[in-house]
Structure 1
Amino acid sequence: MQTETLVYIILAGIIALFLALFQYKSKRKSMSKLDMLFSFLRFVTIFSVLLLLINPKFKHSSQTIEKPTLVIAVDNSSSVKYLNKDKEVQDLANQLLSDQKLQGKFNIEAYSFGESVNKLDTISFSGKQTNIDRVFKQFSQIYKQATAPTILITDGNQTYGNDYLFTSSHYKQPIYPIILGDTVTYTDLKIQQLNVNKYAYLKNKFPVEAILVFNGNKSINSRFVVTNGNTTVYSEPVSFSKNNNSRIINFTLPANKVGVGSYKATIQPIDNEKNTINNSKNFAVEVIDQKTKIAIVSDFPHPDLGVLKRSIESNEQRIVTFLNPKEAIDRLEDFQLIILNQPNNKFKQVYNVLNEQNKNRLVIVGTKTDLRFLNTIGNNYTFEITNQEEDYQAELNLNYAPFIIDDIDFESFPPLKSNYGAVTFSVPYQTILNKRVNNVPVNAPLLATFEMNSKREAVLFGESIWQWRAQSFLNSNTFNLFDDFIGKLVQYLASNKRRDRLSLEYESFYTGSSKIEIKAQVFDNNYVFDSRETLNIIVTDKLSGQEKQFPLILKNNYYVADLSNLPPSEYSFTISAVNENISKSGNFQILEYNVEQQFLNANVTKLEQLATNSNGKSFFVSDTKNLVNEILNDDRFVAIQKVNKNVIPLVDWKYLLALIALSLTVEWFLRKYNGLI
């Protein structure tokens, strides 16, 4: 408290005492006990009021001891069980979590990880994938400002994600890997990778690339064989040695039958080989009998055109051809979909032919589009012409019904550049993406579709969509999400099939380690998405005849069934609506492949490097005591004493107000009781 404030308080006391005595003693030669009591109560009241006016501030200090955090991350993937380390991991985790010395020095926080990172509850070792990269990405955010040494219990074998050595460099905490495995090198022969296209075309041949790897010191001979059912479709002898320990085999297989063809590639095991699971890999190819041909018609080059071609052709079923308006006039009949990039008066004949042939189309409207021409040539929508430009961001319409759209974080995408002004539709339309200006929603479509006279059309009111594909890659480290979005739009526009009230989305085949989902949409009689319906799926194993029934879960604007727990086999399914007499069936196949069973050893070298880079230390399971001692005796991990100082103004002290009210009340009642009022 400052000296000035203290002087004010003393003066307040003197003034309060003077006023109290002045009222009760000034007209009396002596004071009775009652007058003295009244004077005291009045003094308390006046002094308290003056204190509130002065409002002195008091400093309050409190001390806390903050212990460092010990993070324990346990590998919950099936590779741990396959290496026969599951029992040791269970015991080790329980031992660390119950260690009294560790509990005394640290706040212990435990996690399990596989495909995702979760708080440690139970360890089942059932994860189908391992993503250590995600562990360090999440921990970097959680423990950014903390002291948090991290114990990583894992075999170090990652099946997907970025290199965790790189990601861990952004995690500023010491890492102590506990290595699950040994340094013994086993002789092993395996198929490291199998590259094959997802689709092939009838009566063509499709290429296959197999990468074979040998780990051993002696020379061996084996044979690489590819079978389709009981038929061998390709075979080749292979040999390896210590120095010549890898082989790339390229070959082609015929596509003679429409549908999904399943194949098994095998490199024959050598004597005493410990792991023979990684000697085989299954793959499948869907054979189709035609390609979807798409023409992009443009009067000038633009980066959007290359991005559209790349995204569309990411699906092998589709092929894109670039044409200028003059070239397109005589060739439009060859294509199922026409993309018109920023049309102008040169497109007049193109529009006439498209209307004659009733062709589906996608129109891209940008800053070089001749809006007066579009207003003249079409009667489905008209533009307000302002000769001004605007940047429009995207916002997904979750109620879009014609096909299933996944949210690929459209709101994070850069704005598209287009013409400023309203667009008026003269036909019923549905919006896929709405416009936003400076993050403020605008009640106007950015991407819309409509159907008229068995013709489908979409309009994108903006250019520079190439930036969206780049941003999608930055968000997810893959182009697949954006390419799938463009692929769905193209698939819808390239087809003239009548819309069904129940539509399905699924793959013809899945690998055993991938997520297996079947999506569905159901519509009422007016083709409006029905979110009140209940959908069930009956899945039948074609080989065993076993049936299973699952409910579909409503998610945004579609229903989804997660079938990731089904074992590898061939399946048929039927999805039916409970309240409506509609159903739809399909078939899919799950290929047998467990990526977690492809490893013989822990990745000792990488885990040791991880410890060195982070100023930690690596240990094997048998060294747990040394690990505990290492952490307990490390001077970097000490408790921090924190002092919290709070400045509390007197006006916040509610008891002083209660004291004023009490003194005034007692004084009034006593004066009333003694007849002085």
Structure 2
Amino acid sequence: MQESTIIYIILSGIIALLLALFQYIYKSKSKSNSHKFLAVLRFVTLFAILLLLINPKFEQTTYYNEKPTLVVAIDNSESVRYLNQNNNTNELIERLKANDSLNENFNLEFYTFGKTLAKTDSLSYSDRQSNMALAFDRLSEIYSNSVAPTLLITDGNQTYGNDYEFSTNKYKQAIYPIILGDTTQFIDLKIQQLNVNKYAYLKNRFPIEAILVYSGEGSLSTTFNITSENTVVYSQNINFTATSTSKVINLTLPANRAGVSSYKAEIVPIENEKNKVNNIKNFAVEVIDQKTNVAIVSDILHPDIGALKKSIESNEQRQATLVTPEEFVSNAGDYQLAIVYQPNMKFKQAFDEINRLKINKWVIAGTKTSWNALNALQSNYKQTITNQTEDFLPELNLNYTPFIIENVSFDEFPPLRSEYGETEFNLPIQTICYKTVNGIAIGEPLLATFEINETREALLNGEGIWKWRAQSFLEQKSFEPFDNFIGKMVQYLSSKQRRTRLNVEYESFYNGNEDLKINAQYFNKNYEFDTSGNLNITLKDKETNNSRTLPFVLKNNGYQVDLSGIPAGEYSFTVSVTGENVSQSGELKILDYNVEQQFLNADVAKLERLAASTKGNSFFIDNTSSLVKTLTSDTRFATLQKSSKNVVPLIDWKYLLAVIVLSLTAEWFIRKYNGLI
């Protein structure tokens, strides 16, 4: 409390005392005890009121002990069960929970990780992929400002995401790996990696690259085969030695039949080989007889063009070609979609050719766009020309229905720059993103699509889409979500199919370790998205003829069913709507492949390096006797005594108000009783 406040309090007490004595002692003719008591009550009232006016502040300090957190991150992937370490892991978890010394020195927090991280100690060992890098990213966000040594109970085998050994550079906690497995080495042959394109084109040959690895001593010979429908389509003898333990096989196979073709790559196992699962990899190739050609028409260079080309060609079914307006006019018939980037009057012949051939187009406008020219070259929309530019942030329209938009965080994207002013459309449109300025939605479309005269068109009124692709990678560590969005835009705009009431999105084949989710959209008779539809999928195994029916669930602006976990095989399916004569059928194939079963040992070397780089220690699951002592004796993890200082103003002390009320009430009753009122 400041010295000036103390002086004010003393003065307040003197003033309150003088006023009370003046009223009840000095001016009063009576000097009875009741008058003296009334003087005390008046003093209390006046002093309390003056204290409230001064409102002094008091500091309250409390002390408490803060224990560090012991993070226990447990591998919940199938590889733990495959290495027969699930029972050992369960026993270790129970010992940790019951250990009094650990609970006395730490706050224990249990997490499980596979493809994602979850705060739980319920273990199923059923995750079909493990992404330890993502787990460390999430934990670093949670414990960035606290002491939280981490027990990492895992076999160290990662199947998905960035390499966790380097991702932990940003993780500021000591890591103590509990290694699930041992260092025993077995003779093993395996297909380390198989690289093959997902699509091929009819009458062409598609490349395959196989990386074969041998673990063991001595020399051996084996055979590498690729079969299709029980027919060997490729075979090669392979020789390994103690010094030559890997081989890279490059080959090409013909694509003679349109559709999905399944293959099996196998390195013939040796006698008594412990793990034969990793000797085989199934793969499939979809052979298509045409490719979607997209023209990016521009007479300027801009990063947007490179980003669009990368996104479009991330799907091997599509090809994007950068052409000038003059080059496009010469070969317009070769393209199914024209992306017209920042047009001006030089694009007049290109627009004429697009209209003549009824080619679908996507116009992207920006600071280099001549809106005088664009307003004249087409009649579907008109931009108010202000010769001023503005930055517009996107706001996703959750009611957009022509195709499903998911996993794209538009609210995290940077703004696009374009002409300031209203864009007036002369026909019905479907808005994907609205414009927002300074956090205020202005209700105008930033990105919209529409259909007219059997053609489909889109307008993106802003440049800088390359920043969206970069931000998507920063947020999700992958270009895939953004590239998939651009792919859906291109697929929708390049198609001339008539709109149907039921649209189903699916792949022709899936790897066994992938999430298998099928999306659908259902519209009423007015082609408005119907949220009350009852959609079901009937899945039939072609080999056994067994069928199962599963319901779709409503998700954002579409429906979704999760088929992950169904056995490998070939399936036909029918998506139908209860009570409506609307359905769509198709076929899909699930390849027999489990990436978590490809490992024979724990990755001991990497886990030991991880412990050393983070100043922790590594332990094997069958030798954790010194684990508790190591943790509890480390001075970095000592319990800290902390203080909390709380400044409380007197005006917050409600009892003082009660004192004022009681003293005034008592004074009134005494004066009333003695006839002084």
Q: Same fold (TM over 0.5)?
A: yes
Q: What is the correspondence of 1:78-477 to structure 2 with a 5 Å cutoff?
A: 78-477=78-477
> Deviations for 1:317-364, whole angstroms, at most 9, x for unmatched residues?
223334333333342223222222223223223322322222211222
205-214 or 466-475, which deviates more: 466-475
Give distance in 2, aligned partners of 1:435 and 1:57. Answer: 49
Give distance in 1, aligned partners of 2:471 and 2:11. Answer: 69
Residues 1:39 and 1:115: Cα distance change in structure 2 (over 3 Å): same
**Sequence identity, in percent?**
57
Residues 1:279 and 1:21: Cα distance change in structure 2 (over 3 Å): same
- Displacement of 1:11 after TM fit? 4.4
AA paired with 2:636? R
Q: What is the correspondence of 1:554-565 to structure 2 with a 5 Å cutoff?
A: 554-565=554-565
Give the secondary structure class of the aligned counterpart of 1:623: coil
3-12 or 434-443, which deviates more: 3-12
Provide the residue aligned with 1:65 in structure 2: 65
Provide the residue aligned with 2:587 in structure 1: 587
Q: What is the correspondence of 1:636-655 to structure 2 with a 5 Å cutoff?
A: 636-655=636-655
116-125 or 11-20, which deviates more: 11-20
569-578 or 205-214, which deviates more: 569-578
Give distance in 2, aligned partners of 1:81 and 1:150. Answer: 22
- Displacement of 1:38 after TM fit? 2.3
> Deviations for 1:411-463, whole angstroms, at most 9, x for unmatched residues?
33333332222221111111122223344333222222111121111122223
The answer on 1:629 being equivalent to 2:633 is no
The answer on 1:615 being equivalent to 2:615 is yes
The TM-score normalised by the length of structure 1 is 0.96
Provide the residue aligned with 2:567 in structure 1: 567
Provide the residue aligned with 1:538 in structure 2: 538
- Displacement of 1:29 after TM fit? 7.0
Give the secondary structure class of the aligned counterpart of 1:61: strand
Residues 1:29 and 1:502: Cα distance change in structure 2 (over 3 Å): closer
- Displacement of 1:542 after TM fit? 2.0
Q: Structure 1: which 5+ residue stretches go unaligned?
A: none
Give the secondary structure class of the aligned counterpart of 1:611: helix
Provide the residue aligned with 2:529 in structure 1: 529
647-656 or 69-78, which deviates more: 647-656
AA paired with 2:116? S
Is the 1:226–1:265 Cα contact (8 Å) retained in structure 2?
yes
- Displacement of 1:484 after TM fit? 1.6
Give distance in 2, aligned partners of 1:31 and 1:650. Answer: 35
- Displacement of 1:5 after TM fit? 4.4
> Deviations for 1:447-483, whole angstroms, at most 9, x for unmatched residues?
2211112111112222333333333223323222222
AA paired with 2:287? V
Give the secondary structure class of the aligned counterpart of 1:115: coil
The answer on 1:666 being equivalent to 2:666 is yes
Residues 1:29 and 1:371: Cα distance change in structure 2 (over 3 Å): closer
Is the 1:533–1:579 Cα contact (8 Å) retained in structure 2?
no
Residues 1:103 and 1:232: Cα distance change in structure 2 (over 3 Å): same
Give distance in 2, aligned partners of 1:142 and 1:117. Answer: 12
- Displacement of 1:28 after TM fit? 6.1
AA paired with 1:554? L
Is the 2:407–2:481 Cα contact (8 Å) retained in structure 1?
no
AA paired with 1:353? E
> Deviations for 1:39-95, whole angstroms, at most 9, x for unmatched residues?
332232223223333433333221111111111111111111111010000000110
Provide the residue aligned with 2:501 in structure 1: 501
Give distance in 2, aligned partners of 1:304 and 1:58. Answer: 60
- Displacement of 1:407 after TM fit? 4.2
The answer on 1:43 being equivalent to 2:43 is yes
Give the secondary structure class of the aligned counterpart of 2:622: helix
Residues 1:71 and 1:668: Cα distance change in structure 2 (over 3 Å): same
Give distance in 2, aligned partners of 1:251 and 1:392. Answer: 50
> Deviations for 1:263-292, whole angstroms, at most 9, x for unmatched residues?
111100012211110000000011112122
- Displacement of 1:7 after TM fit? 4.8
Q: Structure 2: which 5+ residue stretches go unaligned?
A: none
AA paired with 1:480? E
Is the 2:536–2:549 Cα contact (8 Å) retained in structure 1?
yes
Give distance in 1, aligned partners of 2:487 and 2:314. Answer: 8
Give distance in 1, aligned partners of 2:43 and 2:391. Answer: 71
AA paired with 1:356? R
- Displacement of 1:35 after TM fit? 2.7
The TM-score normalised by the length of structure 2 is 0.96
Residues 1:560 and 1:151: Cα distance change in structure 2 (over 3 Å): same
AA paired with 1:152? L
Give the secondary structure class of the aligned counterpart of 1:320: strand
- Displacement of 1:501 after TM fit? 0.4
648-657 or 557-566, which deviates more: 648-657
Give the secondary structure class of the aligned counterpart of 1:144: coil
Give distance in 2, aligned partners of 1:55 and 1:295. Answer: 74
Provide the residue aligned with 2:596 in structure 1: 596
Give the secondary structure class of the aligned counterpart of 2:373: helix
Give distance in 1, aligned partners of 2:651 and 2:491. Answer: 70
Give distance in 2, aligned partners of 1:50 and 1:480. Answer: 68
Is the 1:396–1:407 Cα contact (8 Å) retained in structure 2?
no
Is the 2:570–2:589 Cα contact (8 Å) retained in structure 1?
yes
- Displacement of 1:238 after TM fit? 0.7
361-370 or 258-267, which deviates more: 361-370
Residues 1:456 and 1:661: Cα distance change in structure 2 (over 3 Å): same
- Displacement of 1:629 after TM fit? 0.8
> Deviations for 1:506-556, whole angstroms, at most 9, x for unmatched residues?
111111111111000011112111122222222222222222222212111
Residues 1:86 and 1:25: Cα distance change in structure 2 (over 3 Å): same
Give distance in 1, aligned partners of 2:55 and 2:482. Answer: 62
Residues 1:669 and 1:605: Cα distance change in structure 2 (over 3 Å): same
Give distance in 2, aligned partners of 1:70 and 1:505. Answer: 44
Residues 1:666 and 1:148: Cα distance change in structure 2 (over 3 Å): same
Give the aligned length: 677
467-476 or 61-70, which deviates more: 467-476
Give distance in 1, aligned partners of 2:652 and 2:418. Answer: 57
Is the 1:387–1:419 Cα contact (8 Å) retained in structure 2?
yes
- Displacement of 1:400 after TM fit? 1.2
87-96 or 287-296, which deviates more: 287-296
406-415 or 478-487, which deviates more: 406-415
- Displacement of 1:4 after TM fit? 5.1
> Deviations for 1:11-38, whole angstroms, at most 9, x for unmatched residues?
4444434433333333667633333332
